[in-house]
Amino acid sequence: MSLPSISNIKIFANPYLKENFRRAVPIIIGHAMIAMLGVVDTAVAGRMPGAVFLAAVGLASAFAHFVFWLFGFLRMGTTGVTAQALGRLDPRGVRLSLLRGASFGIVLGLLLLVVSPLLYWIAVEVYAQEENLAQPFLQYLRIRFIGAPFALATYAFYGWLLGVDRNSLMLLIQTIVILANIIISPALALGLGWGVEGIAWATVISEILGAGLSLMFVLRVLPRLTLKPLRVALRLTDFFDIAEIRRFLSINTHIFVRTLCMLLAFQVFWVLSADLGIVALSVNAILLQMLSIASFALDGFALAGEAMVGENLTRFASKKRTSVAIGKVVESVLAWSCSFALLFTITYALTFNAIVAGFTNLQVVREAAREYLWWAALVPSVGVWAYAWDGIFLGLTLTRAFMLGTLFASLSFVICALPLVKILENHGLWLAMYVFFALRALSLYAFWRRWRKDSPRR
C-alpha cells in the first residue's frame, strides 16, 4: 500500500495556502520592522544610567501606543471594506474607503494634540506619580504626541494598501522608517545626549517619514488598479452618503470599543507591573517587547487572510461557493499562524537569555528576567489563535462579534489578574495574560461556528 503524497493531504491541497503565504511574507517582515521601533527605544533606554529610564520609556511608550491605537479602527476598518469593494469590482468603494479613513485619521490626530495636556495629567496620575519617574515619562509623551496626526493617517494608508494587495509597498515603507529610527534614536539620545527626549523625537520623525511615504505610494497605486471605471469622478454626495456613513460608523465604533477593551487590559497589566516595583516593571517591558515582535509577525497571516476573506465574501454569486472559499482561507491562516507560533516558542526558549541581554546591560534586570523564560517562550503559541481569528472577523466585517469577544476576555483578565498578582506576584500577572489570550480565541471561535452554521442561508 503506497503512502499518500503531501499534495494529497487536505491542508496541502488548499489552493489558498500559497496565496496566504505570498501576501503574509511582506507583512510579517514589515511588522517585524514596526516592532523594531519599540525594540530600538527599549534598547537605547536600557543603556542609559539607571533602570528608571528604561521603566519610563516603557511606560510612556505603552501609554502613547494605548492612545494612538484606540484609533486602530482606521487600519482595521479600512482593510476589510476596501477588500470587499475590490472583490465586487467597485472602484467608487475602493476610493471612498481611502478618503474616509485618511481624512478621519488627520482630524482625530489633531484633536489628540488639542486634548493632550489632559492626557498627560491622567497618565502621570495613573502611571508615574514618583518624581524620578514622572519627569522622563512626561518628557517622552510631550514630544511623542506631536506625531499623532501622521501616525493616525498612516493607519488608514496601511489599511488601504492591505485591502488592495499592495503588501510589498508596506514593507518598503516600514523598512525605510525603521532604518531611519535605528540611526536617529541612538544618535539623538546617546550621541547628542538628549536622553529620553531624543528617543521620542526619533519616533516622531519616523512617523512623519512613514506618513509621507505612504501618501506618495497610495497616490501612485490608485490610478494603476485594474478597475476600468476608476476614472469616474467622485461626487461630494458620494463621500457623505448616509447609508455608507452609517455602516462606516457602525464598523468603526465596534472596532473602537473592542480596541479600547483590549488596550485597557494591557494598561491594567502595566499598572499592576508598576505596583510590583521598578525591576519587575523593567522585566515586563522587555517581555512585552518579545510578545510584540511575535505578535506583529504572526499578525501577518491574519492580515493577509483578512484581505482574502473580504475579497471572497463579495467575489462569488453563489453563497455556497463563498462559504467554501472562506473556509479554505481560514484553514490557510490557521495552518501558517500556528506553524510560525511554534517556531517563535522554540526560538525564545533557546535564546531567551541572549535576547534579554540585548535589551539591557543592567544585571539586576537580567537576573530577575530568568524566572520568566517559559512565560515568554510559550506566549506566542497561546496568543496566536486570538490573532488569527481577529483577522478573519475583520475581513468578514463581523465587528459586533469581534467587539463582544474581546470585551468578555478583557473583563475576565482584570477579574483574574487582581487576586493572582496578590498570590503569585508577577507570575500571577502573566497567568492572567494567558487567560486573556485563550478567552479571546475561544469566544471568536464560538461566533465563527455560529456564522458557518448560518452562512449557507445568508
- Angle at alpha carbon of residue 126, lines to 71 and 376, rounded to 5°: 70
Residue 389 structural domain:
8-457
Q: Cell for 353?
A: 537569555
Q: What is the pLDDT of residue 431?
A: 94
Confirm whether 338 is domain-assigned: yes
Confirm whether 2 is domain-assigned: no
Confirm whether 168 is domain-assigned: yes
Confirm whether 3 is domain-assigned: no
Confirm whether 1 is domain-assigned: no
Confirm whether 329 is domain-assigned: yes
Residue 19 has pLDDT above 90, yes or no: no
Confirm whether 41 is domain-assigned: yes
Predicted confidence (pLDDT) per residue in 176-214, tens digit: 888 888 888 778 877 777 777 788 888 889 889 989 999
Predicted confidence (pLDDT) per residue in 294-351, tens digit: 887 788 888 888 878 877 777 766 677 777 888 888 889 899 999 999 999 999 999 9
Q: What is the pLDDT of residue 36?
A: 65
Average pLDDT score, the chain: 81
Predicted confidence (pLDDT) per residue in 47-81, tens digit: 665 666 667 777 777 778 778 877 888 887 788 78
Average the pLDDT over 284-289 and give the result: 86
Q: What is the pLDDT of residue 456?
A: 52
- Domain tally for the chain? 1
- Other CB atoms within a 10 A radius of the CB of residue 439 amount to 20
Specify the range with the lowest mean pLDDT, choosing from 15-19, 188-192, 227-231, 363-367.
227-231
Residue 434 has pLDDT above 70, yes or no: yes
Q: What is the pLDDT of residue 427?
A: 92
Residue 436 carries which side chain, given as an amino acid letter?
F
Read off the pTM: 0.73
409 band by pLDDT with thresholds 50, 70 and 90:
very high
Q: Cell for 67?
A: 492612545
Confirm whether 187 is domain-assigned: yes
Measured distance CA(420)–CA(434) in Å, rounded: 12
Q: Tell me how far apart the terminal alpha carbons of the chain are, to the nearest angstrom.
A: 44
Predicted confidence (pLDDT) per residue in 246-286, tens digit: 777 788 788 888 888 887 888 889 889 888 888 888 888 88
